[in-house]
Chains A and B, each alone.
Chain A
Amino acid sequence: MELFQLKLFQRLGERMGWLGARQTVLAQNIANADTPHYVPRDVKALTFAEHLTGAAPVTQARTDAKHMMGTSSPTSAIDDQKTKKQYETAPVGNSVVLEEQMIKLADAQANYQLMTNLYRKHVDLLKMALGRGG
């Protein structure tokens, strides 16, 4: 049995991927804390409702082998965008607030830990079902 065939592990993996992507975006914001005209970015929130409706990115149907696919890939689920509501903007046009980014970073880290702990807990449950303790 492959672990990833279980929906639960699939979701955990997806969430971990999302948190990793968010961490990268936040690191980028922090690195640009003093860059003129830089607007901080954040990834689109991963919602449970989207999972249920299966909101996959829409692509054009390829009905003929001669059809060429566009060069730009469909926007992925993990999509970063400029933060619309900004806390404050410095005179040079930079709107990164380090404290805000730090809180987001701590949040991403805590959630990541939650995901890894859940993962381990469920592996332990499977082990228990196999009769090897857990």
Chain B
Amino acid sequence: MDLMESLMISAAGMRVQGERLRVVAENISNADSVSEVPGGDPYRRKTISFRNALDRELGLETVQVQKVGLDQSDFKIKYDPGNPAADAKGYVKLPNVNALIEMTDMREAQRSYEANLRAIEVARTMLQRTIDLIR
């Protein structure tokens, strides 16, 4: 049945956006996580990417998380000799997390989540109207 399939697709869409929000939360909460050893690498920002692939159980194409990768951009460097993570010259590597990017990502995830929710509502209303025909 078409409308039930539509519900499944939207649910998959919401699931991946939830996953994305989890990655964003991880990045934001680790925005200040420096290395545990002096001169070591701090927390590296995580990225997430999606793909449209066949779900063999449902027999439909649904959206899935392709992979959670690492952002390879450079770390920020700050002169802070008093920090336990500072190297021999007194420089500390800070995570490559940009709060602005994370916030934008979060907003986009929220917007997409809402759109999926709306699609579910529409499918549900259509189903309801069909059922109402027998009254």
Q: A residues touching B (Cβ–Cβ < 8 Å)? A: 16-17, 19-21, 23-24, 26-28, 30-36, 38, 98, 101-102, 105-106, 108-109, 112-113, 116, 119-120
Contact = CB atoms under 8 A, between A and B. Distances in A.
B132 interface: yes
B52 A32 contact: yes
A119 B120 CA distance: 24
Interface residues of B, number: 37
A43 to B, nearest CB: 11
A30 B118 CA distance: 10
A23 B50 contact: no
Contacts of B50: 32, 34-36
Contacts of A31: 9-10, 12-13, 16, 62-63, 116, 119
Interface string B43-83: 00000011110000000011100000000000000000000
